[in-house]
Amino acid sequence: MKARVHVMLKSGVLDPQGEAVRHALGSMGFDGVEAVRQGKVIELDLAETDADKAKATVTEMCEKLLANTVIESYSVELA
């Protein structure tokens, strides 16, 4: 089973990388971009075949390592 985790900074947390991308896009002539939030996607190949168990395991991974839950939020997709 495959899992995809999307990790983003929470609303209200400054995103200097996103701001740098927004500024660079403006410098390149893309003037309509008002804000950019940058995140990360983590793809996992799991041996688990039970979707509920897989989601619980990936959620635990996120809480312990993959996301800094103080400043980041995450979502889990299974395929």
| 11-63: pLDDT as tens digits | 999 999 999 999 999 999 999 999 999 999 999 999 999 999 999 999 999 99
CATH homologous superfamily, domain 2-78: Phosphoribosylformylglycinamidine synthase subunit PurS (3.30.1280.10)
Look up residue 25 and give its two tokens: 């896009």
How does DSSP classify residue 62? I
Asked if residue 16 lies in contact with residue 52, where contact means CB atoms within 8 angstroms, the answer is no
Three-class SS of residue 38?
Answer: coil
Determine if the pTM surpasses 0.85.
yes
Domain boundaries, the chain: 2-78
CA distances from 18 to 1, 3, 31, 69 (A): 32, 25, 15, 19
Placement of tokens 């990936």 in the chain: 58
